Structure 1
């Protein structure tokens, strides 16, 4: 009869332990990621806003909230719009301070893309109407906002990504010309 020595016993034990460990790994299919639901997009968000007009690019952190079918801005970014209406930079800054916070609601319709585990958002922006005070007068301004692509709420990391464009600015019935569109890009926003 053959006797096992301590080192031989440890080697047999390690081989068996390794076999059990590897067989346990075969049952793992990665982490369970729950399928995205329409209500998952609701909440308060904060994320990077990249604003581009021509060769000028600015970045800042923007907060907003998402309801059932609307993205609500309590402070919509209007600096570039005002600077297109009020050409003098000093007057534009004074006007921005006088205007304060501008609210805007961006309507959307969401559908579930189960293959990619995302919500696809189709936007229907309405015209942003502003009363811009300058030199004792008020300029009635209408900004035509459009969404040229879908937005996405990604189920994997619970992030929201979308973009809108200020395609046209009309002041007191006349379109601003020449005018370069203002792109508002939200490349990665997360819930607070």
Structure 2
């Protein structure tokens, strides 16, 4: 009988505690921390989705944002090189010889307090790559464009943006036929 009374008492106490804990949440509201333009600065780990001609590739990359420049210490070149050098073995050899290529992406920032974001307007520069193939070096000029703004989002403190390799010129001649390569960063995490 004592065990039954103790169990009933514990059940009633547990239900009461649970009820009080749930009612205390009713008044809680999410209050976003207002972003500043300087919040964009930092090191990021990002998910990069590269697409070309219906084929998609995903990988993790790192980049740094400081003042008005996003710096990629190792810009993803695989799709560019494999577009120019169609033989997979020669393309992999060329990628190994090229190594890491640093790319700096300029941007202008504008605070949007209504949506708690920093809008990023990009000013991409042409990417220059020297691709060694069959004992010669091809000078590739890749015209990068940003067709949409990027955003530093105050909700999760991430940067989201995209670029396109719109055109490739090899030794002064437009590479054709060519399918645009898209680089999308749907989410990044600030380190």
TM-score band, normalised by shorter chain: 0.7 to 0.9
Output the CA distance in 2 between the equivalents of 1:114 and 1:98: 46
Question: Are 2:33 and 1:34 aligned?
Answer: yes
**Structure 2 spans left out of the alignment, 5+ residues:** 1-15
Establish whether residue 128 from structure 1 lines up as the match of residue 127 from structure 2: yes
For residue 79 of structure 2, give the secondary structure of its aligned residue in structure 1: helix
Take 1:53 and 1:34, find their aligned partners in 2: how far apart are those partners?
Answer: 38
Within a 5 Å distance, the mapping from 1:28-107 to structure 2 comes to 28=27, 30-107=29-106
Deviation at 1:133, TM superposition (A): 0.8
TM-score with structure 2 length normalisation?
Answer: 0.86
Root-mean-square deviation over aligned CA pairs: 1.8
CA apart distance, 1:31? 3.0
SS of 1:95's equivalent?
Answer: helix
Give the Cα–Cα distance (whole angstroms) in 2 for the partners of residues 155 and 120 of structure 1: 11
1:86 Cα offset (Å): 1.0
The number of residue pairs the alignment matches comes to: 173
What are structure 1's unaligned runs of at least 5 residues? 1-13
Q: How far is the alpha carbon of 1:91 from its aligned partner?
A: 0.2
Per-residue CA deviation, residues 21-72 of structure 1 (Å, 9 max, x unaligned), is 96x777x461332211001111110011000001111000011111110100
SS at match of 1:31: coil
SS at match of 2:61: strand
Aligned equivalents of 1:107, 1:43: Cα separation in 2: 15
What CA distance in whole angstroms lies between the structure 1 residues aligned with 2:114 and 2:34?
10
Runs of 4+ in structure 1 displaced over 3 angstroms?
none
- Asked if 1:167 corresponds to 2:166, the answer is yes
Number of the residue aligned with 1:115: 114
Query: Considering only CA atoms, is the larger Rg found in Structure 1 or Structure 2?
Result: 1
- In structure 1, how many angstroms separate the alpha carbons of the residues matched to 2:58 and 2:95? 18
